[in-house]
């Protein structure tokens, strides 16, 4: 008897959860349909993909499974940028206040679902983060692996403030940086320049000027700067390189960047999940976008040798 009661109780919880699962899925699917910068979503049959994944969500038994399915659907777009983060990952990656509310009033009026994340390794923040900073041959080397994790720019800023007096210049290594958030791009640029370097071209909304953060005052890094780039530099990382180029702030070493300047905007759900959607294309404040052409180096060199070339340049600049 007790076993039967327990089974009925668990069944009732499962049935109660499914409408919430489908509601969250439907909003995540709708968000891409409404705000993705390229109306055809790169030729993806978003309707068919939505039907297929909705059927799978209807069979889900817990929130981690729902979020995994939404994330899998987002990855199927294949742009290398758009992603979906469950609450436990988003908390460990994004800076507080760094996302836009999902633009659907009904979601903010509904009860917030209680979400329990998985235990153990699955709660890790994945591949985001891991910035490096070290003094090498009198030069401050700064490795920026992505523009998603808020900790990256903080690592660079702390290193600049700690070592600026003892170095002749800086190397900013963007090689392989897949890009990320407009906010983190603006914060990274604010370490080296201040002002309004970009415009963000949004679907159906025209162009919006974008400033560095902060956009006033004197940047903390004032010494000569070399930037390492390659074909793996995409999205907001290209926007960062392009801004430094537009301001004449750096000399570039390596190879031309990808020419893929989709800009990720983070949209947050009430329970803390975040959809990272390519909602626009980055361009200089004036002039053509970097889309399709990338940012070219001043010194074209094998990316593997770019650091040595940059250090030679910076050491020569202090003579």
Please tell me the predicted confidence (pLDDT) of residue 117: 76
**pLDDT at 79 > cutoff 50:** yes
The confidence band for 319, taking pLDDT boundaries of 50, 70 and 90, is low
CA Rg value for the chain: 22
Q: Do 236 and 285 form a contact (C-beta atoms < 8 A)?
A: no
Please tell me the predicted confidence (pLDDT) of residue 63: 94
Q: From CA 318, how far away is CA 3, in angstroms rounded?
A: 79
Please tell me the predicted confidence (pLDDT) of residue 154: 96
Strands 251-254 and 225-229 come out as parallel
Domains in the chain: ranges and CATH: 132-264+278-317 (3.90.226.10)
To 10 degrees, the CA torsion angle through 119, 124, 126, 130? -170
Q: Is the pTM of this model over 0.85?
A: no
Q: From CA 161, how far away is CA 156, in angstroms rounded?
A: 9
Please tell me the predicted confidence (pLDDT) of residue 96: 65
Looking at every residue in the chain, the average pLDDT score rounds to 89
**pLDDT at 311 > cutoff 90:** yes
Average pLDDT over residues 92-109: 85
Please tell me the predicted confidence (pLDDT) of residue 287: 87
Q: From CA 302, how far away is CA 147, in angstroms rounded?
A: 24
Q: Which single residue is written with the structure tokens 């791009």? A: 185
Please tell me the predicted confidence (pLDDT) of residue 103: 93
Q: Do 237 and 174 form a contact (C-beta atoms < 8 A)?
A: yes
High-pLDDT (> 70) share of the chain, %? 90
Closest CA to 94 of 130, 142, 132, 129: 129
Please tell me the predicted confidence (pLDDT) of residue 45: 96
pLDDT in tens, 214-273: 999 999 999 999 999 999 999 999 999 999 999 999 999 999 999 988 888 899 999 999
């Amino acid at each position: 008897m007790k076993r039967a009661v327990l089974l009925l109780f668990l069944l009732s919880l499962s049935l109660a959860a499914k409408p919430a699962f489908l509601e969250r899925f439907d909003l995540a699917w709708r968000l891409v349909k409404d705000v993705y910068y390229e109306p055809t979503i790169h030729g993806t049959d978003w309707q068919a993909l939505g039907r297929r994944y909705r059927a799978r969500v209807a069979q889900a038994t817990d929130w981690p499974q729902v979020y995994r399915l939404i994330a899998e659907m987002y990855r199927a777009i294949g742009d290398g940028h758009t992603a979906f983060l469950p609450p436990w990952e988003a908390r460990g990656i994004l800076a507080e206040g760094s996302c836009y509310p999902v633009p659907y009033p009904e979601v903010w009026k509904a009860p917030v679902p209680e979400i329990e994340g998985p235990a153990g390794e699955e709660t890790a923040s994945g591949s985001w983060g891991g910035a490096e900073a070290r003094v090498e041959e009198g030069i401050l080397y700064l490795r920026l692996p992505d523009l998603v994790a808020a900790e990256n720019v903080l690592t660079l800023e702390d290193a600049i403030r700690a070592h600026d007096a003892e170095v002749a210049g800086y190397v900013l290594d963007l090689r392989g940086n897949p890009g990320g958030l407009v906010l983190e791009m603006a914060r990274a640029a604010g370490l080296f320049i201040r002002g309004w370097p970009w415009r963000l071209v949004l679907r159906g909304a025209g162009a919006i000027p974008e400033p560095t953060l902060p956009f006033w005052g004197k940047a903390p890094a004032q010494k000569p700067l070399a930037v390492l780039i390659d074909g793996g530099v995409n999205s907001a990382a290209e926007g960062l390189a392009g801004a430094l180029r537009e301001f004449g702030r750096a000399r570039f070493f390596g190879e031309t960047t990808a020419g893929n300047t989709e800009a990720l905007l983070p949209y947050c759900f009430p329970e803390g999940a975040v959809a990272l959607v390519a909602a626009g294309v980055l361009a200089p404040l004036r002039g053509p976008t970097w889309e399709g052409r990338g940012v070219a180096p001043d010194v074209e060199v094998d990316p593997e040798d770019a650091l040595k070339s940059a250090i030679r340049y910076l050491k020569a600049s202090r003579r």
